[in-house]
Chains A and B, each alone.
Chain A
Amino acid sequence: MTERSLSPPRGSGQGDAVPPQAPAPVDLRVRRRFADRDRLLAWVFLLPSIGYIVALVAIPFFLAIAFSFSDVTAGDPSFDWAGLRNYQNVFDDPVFWRSLRNTIVFTVVSMALIVVLGKVLANILIADFRGKWLVRFLVLLPWTTPVALSTIAWLWLLDSVFSPIDWVLRELGVIEANMYWLGKPDLAIGSVIVVHVWRLVPLAAVIMMAGLVAIPKDVQEAASVDGAGFWRRMFEITIPLTMPIIAVAALFGAILTFTDMAVVYVLTRGGPTNSTQVLASWAFFRGIEGGDVGQGAAIALFLFPLLLAAAIAILRAVRRMDVS
């Protein structure tokens, strides 16, 4: 905004005899002043986000910390100091360690698959072909569908008796009897990972597409002219140039897998024999269904340091790449 624009409108050049039209310029000036105050505007625009984060993230987070040191239960909200007793109980619980391990395994495996498959999908989606927009729309559907709803669809696909996947495999002669995808621990763990990957790959692909289209075409063309093949261009140009974007996709994938309880809750409720239990679901079962809010909060809080460490590690890596 220039100095001129902040000034009130001048007369029409017909001399001072013309009375100034006072009210309108004053309003305009006030409006312009407000519109031009960048710092104020920045706060105004940020305020809804800050309010949202404080109300729905910060307050519950600090409340969870307080609860984890208290004896608050579902039926007794009164706060009494319990020290480290909830943490002691959590550490003595083998299901907690199982949940912690599962949370990390699900996240790491899902993240790796999400990055690889997201990259492949992004490469396909930026190619020119007939019906590209329809394909893009269809590919995005898993991400746009509410997670609970899509997981119920998977519950049907993986049903122990009526699974269409089993039916197809039987018809193809691959299997003789049903697989019981959710009835065997290894298959149940695999199923949970597959659902996470299925729902998050489209998001990763869209993020990576943004990175891919930003690579200058002349770089690729120059490499082609110099005789670089597809794989060489992929590993020596495309991936290095989009690495920060890939890291962001990985971070999103990790956070959304790490904190999710809907997939496990709908698909297996943590079974069989707690083999798919994750921190979020176990915190819910212990804290809400079981009534021990203090212990549930202590379990849920273990999500925080792990998430924080992962986020810092990835963002630092991204920064280093930017600098280099």
Chain B
Amino acid sequence: MDEQTRISRRSLLWLTAVATTAAACGDAGDDAGPPEATVPAPSPTMSTPASKLSGDLRILLWSHFVPSHDKWFDQFAKNWGKEVGVNVTVDHINNTEIVARTAAEIQARQGHDLIQYIAPLSQFEPSVVDLKDVAEEAANRFGEQLELCVKSSQNPATGKHYAYSPGWVPDPGDYRKSLWESVGLPDGPTSWEDLLRGGAEIKKSKNIQMGLGMSQEIDSNMAGRALMWSYGASIQNEDEEVVINSPETVAAVEFMQRLFKDTMTNEVFSWNPASNNQGLIAGQMSYILNSISAWRTAQEANPEVADDIYFTPALKGPKTSLAAQHVMYNWIVPNHARNVDAAKEFLLHYTANWPSATYHSKLYDLPAFPRLVPQLNGWLDRDPFGAKPENKLGVLKNAIEWSTNIGHPGPANTAVGEVFATFVIPNMFAKAARGELSPEQAVADAERQIRPIFDKWRRRGLVGGV
């Protein structure tokens, strides 16, 4: 194919319309009918409850970016209910509405028995059931839980498992191979310096920019953290003390200034979560940080571009190479839940069937208990859903080695959650990139916002450190 995919204006509009519809306020969705799966779906297993169950179980969860997952999940949950004598109701809502809905239900002290979200729900800790027993039972049955999932569901300051995380989604780099080949990097960038050099050359020669957001949205939050960690910087340390104002953070911000100047445009300050997906699918981006869902959407919307999209692990920085998880599943059982036993049993049954969750999400959802999905590496090497080449997702086999939770190196605590929700980190990078503040000032400004947030939650006993 051409280095820069040429498409007509009509095609462009059609593609972007498809992408946006699929993206649906959060991510590029994917209802790719074709291509057909090349391997059959895993057989379901039945976990017998420890005690007799009855009554109703109301479940609230997001509308998955891969709709085939929801089709499977709804039937799966109902089948389980029939087997164990529980009347199961499943409600899906847009992921952007789940936090507000959960807050409303907790204030009203009524609502669903089980709620799932795609990021840590640590702010609800005082009003949810401790799921330590579920986590321990899952570890007994399925082996050790990944550390990033533990750190995103357990509060070390209180010892409470405010949530249960049976799965997660990595956040690799998505790059256009044909573009990066032209700058001597056929396997894409492997370091942040590669990204700067290659991205600058591509922008200069092809007028195609890179897509690292610095906007008030989730993907920008992830990108900023990945860069910070790779430079040895972080918001908090292992003891949950604020350490953002460091030479390492300043160096990361300085790098972002150069990266913006040489490879991006003001577009990145206006992005919403779907923007980088749309740009990639329309052939307008050389590299973005995102899950595989953008590419899955392109498989149907723009196969030519899809075949040209490849993946890289986290980029190397001066200290390490780390990326944030793209999605971290958090299941909570609010204190008002009327059927706690059924909720806990369902979580264990759902976890036991994680091979189905991975399969029906088209390899989007990865397991927190790797032993549960022995076939995963085989699927990633030979994608059952039409990747060209079929081993395109092989880079995800060791995704856990370059992925971490959003509070790294500490836990994803309530303060980290509020810093995330108020976009302090993307704004820190953006202020320096736009020249509003120097890197030192931008970091100090971020610290001024972050410290009161940590102090506030620490006073409530939800955050450790001093």
Contacts and interface: CB of A to CB of B under 8 A. Distances in A.
Interface of A: 71, 73-78, 89, 92-93, 95, 155-156, 160-162, 178, 180-184, 188, 268-274, 285-286, 288-293
Interface in B82-111: 99-100, 102-103, 106-107, 109
B20 to A, nearest CB: 8
A285 B284 contact: no
A298 B421 CA distance: 18
Contact of B107 (A71, A77, A286): A77
B414 interface: yes
Given A74-B123, A184-B266, 11 more contacts: A74-B106, A93-B449, A95-B449, A178-B267, A182-B270, A268-B216, A270-B423, A271-B215, A271-B216, A274-B423, A285-B421
A289 B421 contact: yes
A89 B123 contact: no
Interface string B261-272: 000011111111
B12 interface: yes
Contacts of A291: 103, 123-124, 414, 417-418, 421
Contacts of B272: 155, 269
Contacts of A160: 265-267, 270-271, 275
A-B residue pairs, 3 tightest by C-beta: A291-B123, A182-B270, A183-B270
A181 B270 contact: yes
Given A180-B270, A183-B266, A161 B284 contact: yes
B267 A183 contact: yes
Interface in B204-251: 214-217
Contact of B109 (A77, A180, A285): A77
A155 B12 CA distance: 17
Contacts of B12: 162
Given A178-B267, A180-B267, A271 B423 contact: yes
Contact of A89 (B99, B127, B452): B452
A9 B263 CA distance: 92
Contact of A292 (B279, B423, B434, B456): B456
A74 B431 contact: no
Interface in B259-302: 265-272, 275, 278-279, 282, 284
A10 to B, nearest CB: 60
26 contacts: A71-B460, A74-B102, A74-B106, A76-B126, A77-B107, A93-B452, A95-B449, A156-B20, A160-B266, A161-B267, A161-B279, A162-B16, A180-B266, A180-B267, A183-B267, A184-B266, A271-B427, A271-B430, A272-B215, A272-B270, A272-B430, A273-B431, A289-B99, A289-B421, A290-B421, A291-B124
Contacts of B282: 161-162
B128 A75 contact: yes
B270 A188 contact: yes
Please classify the interface of chain B as helix (H, G, I), strand (E, B), loop, or mixed, using the class held by over half of its residues.
helix
Contacts of A272: 214-216, 269-270, 430, 434
A75 B436 CA distance: 36
Interface of B: 12-13, 16, 20, 99-100, 102-103, 106-107, 109, 123-128, 214-217, 265-272, 275, 278-279, 282, 284, 414, 417-418, 421-423, 427, 430-431, 434, 436, 449, 452-453, 456, 460
A285 B419 CA distance: 10
Contacts of A178: 265, 267
Contact of A273 (B13, B102, B269, B422): B269
B445 to A, nearest CB: 8
B125 to A, nearest CB: 6
Contacts of B421: 285, 289-291
Contact of A73 (B123, B215, B270, B284): B123
A93 B13 CA distance: 42
A313 to B, nearest CB: 33
Contacts of A180: 265-267, 269-270
Contacts of B16: 162
Contacts of B266: 160, 180, 183-184
A183 B427 contact: no
Contacts of B268: 183
B100 A288 contact: yes
Nearest to A75: B124
Given A290-B418, A291-B414, A291-B418, A77 B127 contact: yes
A75 B127 contact: yes
Contacts of A293: 103
A73 B434 contact: no
A271 B106 contact: no
A75 B267 contact: no
Contacts of A89: 452, 456
Contacts of A188: 270
A270 B269 CA distance: 11
Given A178-B267, A271-B269, A292 B418 contact: yes
Identify the interface centre among B123, B278, B449: most chain A CB within 10 Å of its CB: B123
B131 to A, nearest CB: 15
Contact of B127 (A76, A92, A269): A76
Contacts of A285: 421-423
Given A288-B100, A291-B417, A291-B418, A73 B430 contact: no
Contact of B269 (A74, A76, A183): A183
Nearest to A286: B422
A285 to B, nearest CB: 6
